[in-house]
Amino acid sequence: MGNTIVSVLLVLILVYLLYRMLPAKGVVSIKGTELQEKLAAKKNSGAQFIDVREPAEYKSGHVPGFRNVPLGQIANRLGELPKDSEVVLMCRSGSRSMMAAKILKKNGYQKIVNVSGGISQWTGTQVK
């Protein structure tokens, strides 16, 4: 019986972890090449470009045009992000930015883009 309980708990933990990694419904994922196109059209699009990494990570190198709103602060800073604008999210690998996308989605944002692979897959210019 003890092994059954442990097995059930392990399965539940695995399911929970997989659920957290799944893309949020309605969130578009893009690669670095598509991000370059979005950045080129930034002035005309009105899109918000948000890097959700911690400030020290952001200062060590970030994509020009992105501003820093750490994942832990995103829920408290929703007022800085217009709901009618597209929000492009980035982190180191794409995992934290997907978590931020889920927070935005739960708060009524419709135009959310996640940069899959994050800055670790970015081959363009970085500002330090």
Query: Which residues are identified as catalytic?
Result: 91
Print burial letters for 25-62: b (CB count within 10 Å at least 16), e (below 16): eebebbebeebbebbeeeeeeebbbbbbbbeebbeeeb
Q: Return the axis-axis angle of helices 95-106 and 2-21, rounded to nearest 10°.
A: 80
